[in-house]
């Protein structure tokens, strides 16, 4: 299941922008438009990350951040128009994990979100399974039946992305962004190359195909039909 993000922001336009980008990337979104409601949701429900404005009606974002941090270690990304060094220091000292000023570039925002989520997921171990293919996020090993499959770092990231989104067609642009990000050097066939590597390893013993090409769009992990 994709990560769940809480947006605490009173500007409807910014909320719409955030929701559009986050939903497009597959995240589950909830929102609150004042500090009181935001604090309540953050403490009563479980989120993987919180995007928090500082200048909020009801309660200031600094106070909201302190209250959340006293009870939970949920990553908090402050998103605010306050751009002085003392504001940044105060925001980070109140418990925020990162601080981004408005106006912001959505691509930078998404990169910071991914970095925060990666940082907090290092201590979590999940096991994904689709058909007879298993991926262990703790060991970074895959299994097909009883066969152990060793993966390179990028092969693992690509397979993890596919197994997090079974039966969903992932556009090549989404795969570039999620797996290669800013490290992508422009090689137009890099995805195809790594899909081929994965297929060779996953289908080495003659197993059925699970990673399928959707021509002109991208790739999908699904049953062989």
The fraction of the chain above a pLDDT of 70, given in percent, is 94
- Torsion sign across C-alpha atoms 114, 6, 122, 68: positive
In the chain, what percentage of residues exceed pLDDT 90? 51
Q: Grade residue 176 by pLDDT with cuts at 50, 70 and 90.
A: confident
Is 64 buried (19+), middle (13-18) or exposed (0-12) by CB count in 10 A? Answer: buried
**15-24, 94-103, 148-157, 158-167: range with lowest mean pLDDT:** 94-103
| Closest to 109 in 3D by CA, of 66, 82, 80, 69 | 80
Rounded mean pLDDT, 129-134:
94
- pLDDT of 88 over the 50 cut: yes
Give the global pTM. 0.55
User: Which has more confidence, 161 or 119?
Assistant: 161
Determine the distance from the C-alpha atom of residue 156 to the mean position of all C-alpha atoms in its chain, rounded to a whole number.
16
Give the 3-state secondary structure of residue 80: strand
Kindly give, in sequence order, each residue whose CB lies less than 8 Å from that of residue 156, ignoring residues fewer than 6 positions away. Answer: 135, 140, 142
CB-based contact 148:141 (threshold 8 Å): yes
Task: For the chain, give the mean pLDDT.
Answer: 87
Which residues have CB under 8 Å from 113's CB, separation 6+?
5, 22, 49, 51, 77
- Residues 198-219 have a mean pLDDT of 93
Q: What is the mean pLDDT of residues 85-109?
A: 84
CB 202 within 8 A of CB 149: yes
Residue 98 has φ and ψ, to the nearest 5°, of -155, 165
Question: Per-residue pLDDT tens for 24-61?
Answer: 888 999 999 999 999 999 999 989 999 999 889 989 89
Place of tokens 């195909």: 209
- pLDDT at residue 185, as a whole number: 47
């Amino acid at each position: 299941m994709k990560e769940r993000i809480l947006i605490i922001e009173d500007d409807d336009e910014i909320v719409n922008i955030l929701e559009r980008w986050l939903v497009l990337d597959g995240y589950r979104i909830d929102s609150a438009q004042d500090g009181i409601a935001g604090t309540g949701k953050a403490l009563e429900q479980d989120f993987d990350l919180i995007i928090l404005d500082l200048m909020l009606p009801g309660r200031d974002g600094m106070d909201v951040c302190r209250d959340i941090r006293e009870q939970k270690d949920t990553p908090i990304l402050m998103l605010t128009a306050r751009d002085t060094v003392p504001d940044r220091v105060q925001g980070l000292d109140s418990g925020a994990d990162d601080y981004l000023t408005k106006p912001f570039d959505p691509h930078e925002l998404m990169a910071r979100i991914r970095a925060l989520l990666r940082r907090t997921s290092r201590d979590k171990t999940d096991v994904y399974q689709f058909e007879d293919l298993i991926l262990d996020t703790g060991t970074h090993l895959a299994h097909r039946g009883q066969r152990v499959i060793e993966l390179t770092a990028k092969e693992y990231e690509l397979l993890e992305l596919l197994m997090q989104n079974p039966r969903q067609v992932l556009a090549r642009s989404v795969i570039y962004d999620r797996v290669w990000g800013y490290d992508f050097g422009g090689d137009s066939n890099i995805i195809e190359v790594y899909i081929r590597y994965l297929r060779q390893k996953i289908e080495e013993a003659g197993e059925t195909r699970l990673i399928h090409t959707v021509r002109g769009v991208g790739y999908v992990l699904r049953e062989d039909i």
